A = this chain, B = another copy of it.
């Protein structure tokens, strides 16, 4: 029997055996204005998922990110590590740089960041440095996630800024992209190819 593969969607707490609270289930049961907010968040995450699909089409690990400023989408990006051969070219870093260029300021105040995968240490650090107030992510990352899985850098009170974190938004779709991508790579490797 093969070792259990890490799963990107529906990440379960290993100790308690239960799924973590999905904060995005709450508004669906709330008053109409909460549901409208939920629809808006679903829509923005949809743009991030579209970016992740673009990454997949280029043979990159499918992660996408968008940044919204006062209701306007000001930046979108997908992972481009392989194409740029740059270890820092994660979707979030590219989107943050683009958003700062658009706003003309390194302080991304009144913004929300939507990303399909839980940010890693680098991206969580960049989110803190950019003073982004709200972060919405899709699938948990069991290997490198630093916004709830391995640690939670975004809610560490020792840093001078703590974004609010909303995990699990459209996590099934976000995780399915990653699962499909890595399954394809393993199949190609089994068939003697080099993988992507």
A interface residues, Cβ below 8 angstroms from B: 81-82, 84-90, 93, 96-97, 100-101, 104-108, 120-126, 128-131, 143-144, 146, 150-151, 153, 156, 158-160
Residues of B within 8 A of A160 (CB): 143-144
Q: Which 3 pairs of residues, A with B, have the shortest CB-CB distance?
A: A122-B125, A121-B125, A87-B130
Task: Give chain B nearest CB distance to A75 CB in angstroms.
Answer: 12
> What is the copy number of this chain in the assembly?
2
**B143 with A88: CB separation less than 8 A:** no
Task: Give chain B nearest CB distance to A161 CB in angstroms.
Answer: 10
Task: Give chain B nearest CB distance to A127 CB in angstroms.
Answer: 9
**A106 with B85: CB separation less than 8 A:** yes
* Cα of A93 to Cα of B123 in the assembled complex, Å: 12
Interface of A, helix, strand, loop or mixed by DSSP: loop
Given known pairs A100-B86, A123-B125, A158-B150, the reply for A106 and B130 (CB within 8 Å) is: no
* Cα of A130 to Cα of B159 in the assembled complex, Å: 24
| Smallest CB gap from A143: residue in B | B160
* Cα of A150 to Cα of B121 in the assembled complex, Å: 14
Given known pairs A126-B122, A143-B160, A158-B150, the reply for A88 and B96 (CB within 8 Å) is: yes
* Cα of A87 to Cα of B125 in the assembled complex, Å: 10
**A88 with B97: CB separation less than 8 A:** yes
Task: Give chain B nearest CB distance to A144 CB in angstroms.
Answer: 7
Residues of B within 8 A of A97 (CB): 86, 88
| Smallest CB gap from A158: residue in B | B150
